[in-house]
């Protein structure tokens, strides 16, 4: 079913028939977004209860004996002291059980609201939502040139995300808009998310004042009261692994948690560098770090929504390069999912990771391995689900649509297997019998439209047709699709007054600050 | 660890130190082969007991009420009649429970012997073995030309399989040697497997006389008595789905089962064409077909080794093309694995499947999806594990080495997670502490060599190096690797008398038959 047809059907159902429906169809956004995935397939639990208990006990030992550093953050140390931790200098020793106890006030699930209520997402439980690539300074553009990213590239990614049926969030720093002063990028980025898409977005994290700007802009969009009571941003707070919580990231966490906005508390680990070279050792550190960070969020504001994050890659011990789609990262991610579920917290991990420089076979293998890992790990919030290239240095338009298309396979797989009478298909087996074929039988006619997932970008053509059309590889086909989508883009409707207010805020804040470039 | 180093270490351990070891090293094959995978990770069981029971009950209904056709095979009908089936014309109606009962004499696990005993493989239980692509009439050659395959291409694939550390079997019809008369290909193919490799091989299946030739050649290689008591071939017997067992395939099954050689009994299903469009319906048919085929093998010779096979693809309902790496095929394969385990039979499925014409991103996504599916489905025998392109029409040298490399990730992942004291790495966590790094710590030094799987073909280089070296994509890097490997090839040692006897047999049989080309 094409995106356009799906949109039409949904709108008709939603708004009733007749002239009103036809008018709605003409003005409705042309691009449909699939609902949040409610996973009906099992997780792949690779650790048994004994192993999990050992890792949990070791994590408590890490917190108590080794402790964690909250750097340049007297307020945080004071909060920890008051909560009962043993604070020595900047090092916080957390008595066994305290962090886990503090984590209990974090919700097991929360709603991340979008300005279009149909696109709000529930994060937690068996749900899985997809957000695009986050953070690269470079893009690989549609002419195949690798160069620094610009705000125009950023806007292009917002548009692609908005038009991607299987992607739930507009995301955060889709690429670094390096042509905008570093202290003003968050304003332009949030403006793009707010105006060019109606999907949920993420806030700035590299300065607490910029985080505060994001809260203010969100209050304009959603209303101040709504924002205080509801999460309208889920933002990415990385831990400076091993065991260090720097004041920039914690300042952001404090700002968002105080404003009741969601944060992902995420160890950022290149295995063997920021964590031990073993799976069990890395999981121990990840758990200790997440427990400390989540506990701290609850010291700032009890009940603030927060996600158990784990960004984990392996490393090429020859070159020191991070490697992706590898078995060790998969094992760690599956194990981290088990630990998160035992804590009753939403889980963030995975993505369409690759170290490849191009959207080639390596990118395909590694990204598919990573996506499968996320699905089987019970990830609730998947960042970097599309567009990631070159170990996170590059955002790629072509990779974006290739990955976004693959996310459809996750949607379909996670829906599970029907076993009702229609699915049993005994009538079809009886009708066709030995030696027949099912293409024309009644059961096939009734069910074929939804029976098989179909790619919107990969090649399924006969060899001769494919050859005559230029023998195009996936990267070339993706380039064609990006150009086609961008030609079809239409911005979602928006109240002009709200838009003006947002733009006035951006203009005022830009005028208040001198340009900074680092 | 490089392949060469690994070989050296293994040989040293195997043969002791000193001059003998050094001499052995000089004459030993240069290419190591990893042991069979003994899977320590769980399977992904997507069907609950109720769903499995429904499918099993429906499969019995199919066998009893609809029945299966054994075409042009009076001997088979007679065997079924004697076993208690209700035979009407060529249609065999099998009373509930009879097929499952007959299947019980099939072994749950068997050894497929190689002429080099170190390369024999045990098939069943938690084991997983890899065999290369099977069947394509075309190759994509090292100059990027798609053309009919030749016996020289076939030999090249045998060499690549022999040199691939993660591939356990030399395989079967790696490509169709179309420059050899069709009735003599099996002789040249088996000769190549026997002489250019020392890994286990598969026998011919498209004519029972050719199967008999393969048995005879194996008797020369292994000795007649050994072959009668041990499986030295595992051969691929496809079922003509739906529900039809043609006389060619059954003639082969009869030949091999009588000779105590292993067969894979494998429904060949393009979903929606050869089976219902639903997962549950397809699984019902797969189970019915396998039960009938396996039961028949046991009517031929009780205890003959046999594998529960399932080759399943989805279909693009727009073009009719089979599609690969899709969610429906994954669901069916995972479910088939559950059904196979409940029967106590070894399971064959999966492969590095793709519909792509090139070793590009599509090939990567689809192949990785398919490999992960096989691993999580508990596959014991994975055919097409490397080299498959274009929906099985093309064998690709480049894809062969790319896939074979990825099989290493399965080896590593399936080994599971260590949880012993060393793996817990508490000393490392204490040594490094907050803000440090693990690259130089004692635990890392002691463990880094085996800590992370490392690709032998994918790109892990810094961007600048990669760019200066020509900005090569995976396909180009794979081309380089194929050429390098072929330059390093050395045939494994072989008793000249045995080799001469095999070649005399081939020459005699070729002389006895007029050339046939279809």
Could you tell me which of B3, B35, B228, B225 has the C-alpha nearest to residue B118?
B35
Smallest CA–CA separation between B249 and chain A, in Å? 15
Q: What is the pLDDT of residues A165-180, one digit of tens each?
A: 999 999 999 999 999 9
Give the whole-angstrom CA distance, residue B249 versus residue A420.
Answer: 34
Place of tokens 């009571």: A229
pLDDT at B317: 85
Residue B491 covered by a domain = no
**CB atoms < 10 A from the CB of A150, how many?**
17
Smallest CA–CA separation between B406 and chain A, in Å? 8
Smallest CA–CA separation between B386 and chain A, in Å? 13
Give the whole-angstrom CA distance, residue B440 versus residue B460.
Answer: 21
pLDDT at B319: 87
- Return the DSSP state at B119: G
Q: What is the pLDDT of residues A331-381, one digit of tens each?
A: 999 999 999 999 999 999 999 999 999 999 999 999 999 999 999 999 999
HSE-CB for B331 with a 13 A CA cutoff: 31
Contacts of B49 (CB under 8 A, 6+ apart): none
| Facing residue for B357 by CB, picked from A55, A330, A466 | A466
Give the whole-angstrom CA distance, residue A369 versus residue B364.
Answer: 10
First vs last Cα of chain A: how many Å apart?
A: 47
Percent of chain A at pLDDT above 70? 94
Could you tell me which of B149, B160, B151 has the C-alpha nearest to residue B199?
B160
| CA B120 vs CA B39, B115, B161: distances in Å | 17, 8, 15
Whether A9 has a pLDDT exceeding 80, the answer reads no
pLDDT at B5: 34
Chain-centroid distance, C-alpha B292:
22
| pLDDT band of A318, cuts 50, 70, 90 | confident
Q: Which residue in chain A has the smallest CA separation from B376?
A: A44
Contacts of A338 (CB under 8 A, 6+ apart): A43, A45, A46, A47, A52
Is the CB of B361 less than 8 angstroms away from the CB of A366?
A: no
pLDDT at A317: 85
Whether A29 has a pLDDT exceeding 90, the answer reads no
Using DSSP's 3-state secondary structure scheme, residue B146 falls into strand
pLDDT at A31: 85
Is the CB of B453 less than 8 angstroms away from the CB of A65?
A: no
Which chain B residues are closer than 8 Å to A65 by Cβ?
Answer: 430
Name the pTM for this structure.
Answer: 0.94
Residue A378 covered by a domain = no
Is the CB of A335 less than 8 angstroms away from the CB of B417?
A: yes
Give the whole-angstrom CA distance, residue A504 versus residue A187.
Answer: 11
pLDDT at A49: 98
Is the CB of A362 less than 8 angstroms away from the CB of B462?
A: no
pLDDT at A23: 47
Using DSSP's 3-state secondary structure scheme, residue A275 falls into strand
Smallest CA–CA separation between B90 and chain A, in Å? 11
Residue B444 covered by a domain = yes
Smallest CA–CA separation between A158 and chain B, in Å? 23
Is the CB of A242 less than 8 angstroms away from the CB of B436?
A: yes
Smallest CA–CA separation between A293 and chain B, in Å? 14
Least confident window among A149-153, A383-387, A437-441: A437-441
| CA A141 vs CA A387, A391, B465: distances in Å | 12, 17, 20
Residue A442 covered by a domain = yes
Q: Are B169 and B132 in contact (CB under 8 A)?
A: yes
| CA B92 vs CA A492, B62, B100, B254, B300: distances in Å | 62, 11, 15, 17, 16
Residue A24 covered by a domain = no
Residue B330 covered by a domain = no
Give the whole-angstrom CA distance, residue B197 versus residue B193.
Answer: 6
Pick left, alpha or beta for residue B481 (phi over 0 → left; psi -120 to 50 → alpha; otherwise beta).
alpha
Counting the structural domains of chain A, the total is: 1
| Facing residue for A452 by CB, picked from B315, B369, B439 | B315
Whether A1 has a pLDDT exceeding 90, the answer reads no
- Strand pairing report for A394-396 and A388-389: antiparallel
Is the CB of B359 less than 8 angstroms away from the CB of A361?
A: yes
Which chain B residues are closer than 8 Å to A447 by Cβ?
Answer: 277-278
Q: Which residue in chain A has the smallest CA separation from B441?
A: A276
Is the CB of A425 less than 8 angstroms away from the CB of B317?
A: no
**CB atoms < 10 A from the CB of B16, how many?**
10
Could you tell me which of B247, B217, B246 has the C-alpha nearest to residue B232?
B217
Residue B440 covered by a domain = yes
In tens digits, what is the pLDDT along chain B, a chain of 518 residues? 333 333 333 333 333 344 554 444 445 546 899 999 999 999 999 999 999 999 999 999 999 999 999 999 999 999 999 999 999 999 999 999 999 999 999 999 999 999 999 999 999 999 999 999 999 999 999 999 999 999 999 999 999 999 999 999 999 999 999 999 999 999 999 999 999 999 999 999 999 999 999 999 999 999 999 999 999 999 999 999 999 999 999 999 999 999 999 999 999 999 999 999 999 999 999 999 999 999 999 999 999 999 999 999 999 988 889 999 999 999 999 999 999 999 999 999 999 999 999 999 999 999 999 999 999 999 999 999 999 999 999 999 999 999 999 999 999 999 999 999 999 999 999 999 999 999 999 999 999 998 999 999 999 999 999 999 999 999 999 999 999 999 999 999 999 999 999 999 999 999 999 999 87
Which chain B residues are closer than 8 Å to A363 by Cβ?
Answer: 361, 364, 474
Using DSSP's 3-state secondary structure scheme, residue B316 falls into coil
Q: Which residue in chain A has the smallest CA separation from B436?
A: A242
Is the CB of B475 less than 8 angstroms away from the CB of A429?
A: no
- Strand pairing report for A381-382 and A127-130: parallel
Instruction: Look up the domain containing B444 and give its range.
Output: 425-451
Using DSSP's 3-state secondary structure scheme, residue B243 falls into coil
Predicted-complex ipTM score: 0.94
Smallest CA–CA separation between A481 and chain B, in Å? 14
Q: CA-based Rg of chain A, rounded to a whole angstrom? A: 24
Which chain B residues are closer than 8 Å to A424 by Cβ?
Answer: 54-55, 58, 278, 280-281, 284
Which chain B residues are closer than 8 Å to A462 by Cβ?
Answer: 319, 321
Is the CB of B66 less than 8 angstroms away from the CB of A444?
A: no
Residue A444 covered by a domain = yes
pLDDT at A518: 76
* Mutate: best of A148, A242, A324, A362, partner B, most B CBs <10 A: A362
* Mutate: best of A355, A364, A435, A462, partner B, most B CBs <10 A: A364
Which chain B residues are closer than 8 Å to A390 by Cβ?
Answer: 463
Which chain B residues are closer than 8 Å to A416 by Cβ?
Answer: 46, 331
Q: Which residue in chain A has the smallest CA separation from B462?
A: A321
A216 token code pair: 């203010």
Smallest CA–CA separation between B465 and chain A, in Å? 11
Q: Are B132 and B387 in contact (CB under 8 A)?
A: yes
* Mutate: best of A54, A246, A360, partner B, most B CBs <10 A: A360
């Amino acid at each position: 079913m094409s995106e356009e047809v799906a949109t039409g059907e949904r709108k008709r159902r939603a708004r009733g028939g007749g002239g009103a429906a036809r008018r709605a169809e003409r003005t409705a956004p042309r691009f449909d977004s699939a609902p949040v995935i409610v996973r009906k397939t099992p997780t792949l639990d690779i650790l048994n209860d004994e192993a999990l208990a050992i890792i949990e006990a070791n994590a408590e030992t890490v917190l108590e004996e080794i402790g964690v550093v909250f750097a340049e953050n007297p307020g945080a140390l004071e909060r920890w002291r008051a909560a009962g931790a043993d604070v020595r200098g900047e090092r916080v020793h957390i008595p066994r059980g305290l962090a886990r106890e503090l984590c209990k006030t974090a919700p097991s699930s929360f709603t991340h609201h979008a300005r279009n209520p149909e696109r709000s997402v529930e994060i937690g439980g068996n749900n899985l939502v997809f957000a695009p690539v986050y953070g690269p300074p470079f893009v690989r553009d549609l002419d195949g040139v690798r160069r620094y990213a610009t705000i125009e590239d950023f806007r292009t990614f917002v548009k692609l995300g908005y038009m991607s049926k299987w992607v739930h969030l507009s995301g955060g720093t889709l690429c670094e808009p390096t042509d905008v002063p570093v202290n003003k990028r968050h304003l332009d980025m949030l403006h793009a998310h707010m105006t060019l898409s109606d999907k949920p977005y993420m806030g700035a994290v590299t300065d607490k004042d910029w985080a505060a700007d994001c809260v203010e802009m969100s209050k304009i969009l959603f209303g101040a009261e709504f924002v205080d009571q509801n999460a309208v941003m889920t933002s990415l707070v990385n831990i400076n692994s091993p065991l260090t919580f720097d004041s920039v990231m914690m300042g952001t966490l404090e700002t968002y948690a105080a404003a009741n906005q969601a944060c992902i508390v995420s160890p950022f680990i290149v295995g063997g560098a920021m964590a031990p070279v073993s799976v069990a050792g890395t999981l121990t550190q990840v758990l200790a770090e997440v427990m400390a960070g989540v506990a701290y969020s609850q010291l700032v504001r009890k009940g603030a929504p927060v996600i158990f994050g784990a960004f984990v890659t392996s490393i090429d011990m020859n070159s020191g390069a991070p490697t992706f789609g590898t078995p060790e990262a998969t094992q760690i991610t599956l194990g981290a999912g088990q630990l998160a579920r035992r804590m009753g917290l939403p889980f963030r991990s995975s993505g369409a990771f690759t170290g490849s420089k191009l959207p080639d076979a390596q990118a395909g293998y590694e990204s598919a391995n990573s996506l499968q890992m996320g699905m089987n790990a019970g990830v609730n919030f998947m960042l970097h689900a599309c567009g990631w290239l070159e170990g996170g240095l590059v955002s790629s338009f072509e990779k974006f649509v290739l990955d976004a298309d693959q996310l459809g396979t996750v949607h379909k797989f996670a829906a599970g297997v029907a076993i009702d009478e229609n699915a049993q298909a005994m009538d079809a087996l009886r009708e066709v019998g030995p030696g027949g074929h099912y293409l024309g039988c009644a059961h096939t006619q009734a069910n074929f439209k939804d029976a098989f997932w179909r790619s919107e970008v990969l090649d399924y053509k006969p060899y001769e047709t494919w050859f005559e059309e230029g023998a195009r590889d996936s990267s070339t086909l993706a380039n064609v699709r990006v150009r086609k989508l961008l030609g079809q883009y239409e911005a979602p409707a928006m109240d002009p007054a709200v838009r003006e207010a947002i733009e006035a805020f951006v203009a005022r804040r830009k005028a208040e600050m001198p340009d900074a470039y680092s």
